[in-house]
């Protein structure tokens, strides 16, 4: 008989690795460390030397001001070195989610133990679990949705909004539901404390659709037009552009048997009340970084296609943002260089 112990390492104290120590990942790592219920290691790439020498400075609305914080276990510069601490009970991925650029499900392969390792995706987007379930069909994959406000500038972490999160399992048909449920709650038990607000949520899909109502309609349109959500409203884009798009998203969810609440549009529209808020994709465009386009729009549209749902505005928006994404990738040398002189395709006839 399958038991929960098949899905854990023999470590008495759970062994955790956090990949992606930005605004979100750093506070997750700190919170786990603070609880002293797990061995916490982090994987840090560009800031490695700095963090090994002096750790992070954290200015947190939840935990106060902490200087030179380092996790209780190890700091690794890459996946290869992190194999030394195998097996991991939990691998938390809290990086930007850019499957068109980097495939973490392949990168983490050397440190994932079949069944034993639970992978937690603390990331934006929709359909994020699909490549993980394909690569690790016998592992539990959890969904972490964070509502934190936090950023990391050169190892200085500024957390301005509470670490509020919702943890679910991404349904894996190969593993008894009860075990997926137990694992979700086990993780919550080692992560939750009196400072943060960690919640169990039974249905990952529902919550991710709910978050897309914001991300696919406001984050995307702000990124494309270059304005914050306040200006989008002032300039008439909320009523003319984003709300019609929200209806398309609600329609896809419905076709996927996810019934979003009747006030979802109202609460999404009011979610930045009082703020000229710049959503993440707009921030990316302004910084010249690639956007999380595929997990916010691409996967949703592939799902809509599969479900045979027509969504002309979302599709057109995706077409347009794909061009922007190419531009951002070209600027970061993430695509092959274009020919110096534009080629002429005379043989091509367009009609």
Kindly list the residues in this chain that would bind its own copies in the complex (CB under 8 A).
Answer: 221, 224-227, 230-232, 234-238, 240-241, 243, 262-263, 265-266, 269-270, 272-276, 312-313, 316, 319-320, 322-324, 326-327, 330, 338, 341-342, 344, 346, 349-351
Q: How many helices (DSSP H) and strands (DSSP E) are in the chain?
A: 16, 12
Residue closer to its own copies, measured from CB, 85 or 243: 243
Residue closer to its own copies, measured from CB, 102 or 323: 323
Q: How far is the CB of 236 from its own copies (least distance, A)?
A: 7
d(C-alpha 130, C-alpha 216), whole Å: 19
Token pair 């104290």: residue: 13
- Do 251 and 309 contact (CB within 8 A), yes or no? yes
Q: How far is the CB of 205 from its own copies (least distance, A)?
A: 23
d(C-alpha 252, C-alpha 304), whole Å: 6
Q: How far is the CB of 293 from its own copies (least distance, A)?
A: 13
Q: Return all residues near 259 (Cβ < 8 A) that are at least 6 apart.
A: 253
d(C-alpha 233, C-alpha 250), whole Å: 20
Residue closer to its own copies, measured from CB, 89 or 272: 272
d(C-alpha 272, C-alpha 214), whole Å: 10
Residue closer to its own copies, measured from CB, 91 or 224: 224
For residue 241, the 8-state DSSP code is I
d(C-alpha 88, C-alpha 115), whole Å: 11
Q: How far is the CB of 161 from its own copies (least distance, A)?
A: 17
Residue closer to its own copies, measured from CB, 156 or 235: 235
Q: How far is the CB of 153 from its own copies (least distance, A)?
A: 24
Residue closer to its own copies, measured from CB, 143 or 229: 229
- Do 294 and 100 contact (CB within 8 A), yes or no? yes
Residue closer to its own copies, measured from CB, 202 or 226: 226
Kindly state the tokens that stand for 123: 């990331």
Q: How far is the CB of 34 from its own copies (least distance, A)?
A: 34
Q: How far is the CB of 336 from its own copies (least distance, A)?
A: 10
d(C-alpha 112, C-alpha 348), whole Å: 49
d(C-alpha 49, C-alpha 340), whole Å: 39
């Amino acid at each position: 008989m399958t038991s929960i112990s098949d899905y854990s390492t023999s470590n008495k104290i759970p062994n955790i690795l956090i990949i992606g120590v930005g605004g979100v990942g750093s506070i997750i790592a700190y919170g786990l460390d603070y609880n002293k219920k797990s061995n916490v290691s982090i994987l840090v790439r560009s800031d490695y030397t700095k963090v090994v020498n002096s750790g992070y400075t954290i200015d947190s609305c939840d935990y106060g001001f902490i200087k030179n914080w380092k996790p209780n276990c190890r700091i690794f510069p890459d996946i290869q070195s992190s194999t030394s601490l195998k097996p991991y009970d939990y691998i938390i991925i809290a990086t930007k989610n850019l499957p068109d650029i980097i495939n973490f499900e392949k990168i983490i392969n050397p440190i994932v133990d079949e069944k034993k390792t639970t992978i937690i995706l603390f990331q934006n987007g929709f359909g994020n679990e699909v490549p993980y379930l394909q690569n690790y069909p016998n592992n539990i994959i959890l969904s972490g949705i964070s509502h934190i406000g936090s950023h990391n500038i050169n190892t200085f972490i500024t957390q301005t909004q509470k670490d509020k999160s919702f943890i679910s399992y991404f349904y894996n048909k190969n593993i008894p539901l009860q075990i997926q449920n137990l694992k979700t709650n086990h993780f919550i038990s080692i992560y939750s404390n009196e400072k943060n607000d960690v919640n169990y949520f039974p249905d990952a899909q529902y919550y991710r659709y709910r978050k897309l109502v914001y991300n696919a309609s406001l984050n995307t349109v702000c990124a494309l037009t270059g304005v914050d959500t306040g200006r989008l409203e002032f300039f008439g884009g909320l009523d003319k552009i984003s709300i019609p798009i929200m209806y398309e998203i609600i329609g896809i969810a419905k076709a996927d048997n996810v019934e979003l609440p009747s006030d979802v549009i109202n609460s999404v529209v009011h979610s930045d009340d009082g703020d000229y808020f710049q959503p993440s994709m707009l921030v990316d465009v302004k910084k010249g970084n690639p956007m999380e386009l595929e997990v916010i729009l691409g996967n949703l549209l592939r799902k809509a296609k599969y479900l045979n749902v027509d969504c002309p505005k979302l599709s057109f928006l995706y077409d347009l943002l794909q061009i922007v994404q190419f531009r951002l990738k070209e600027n970061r040398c993430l695509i092959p260089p274009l020919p110096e002189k534009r080629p002429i395709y005379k043989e091509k006839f367009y009609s």
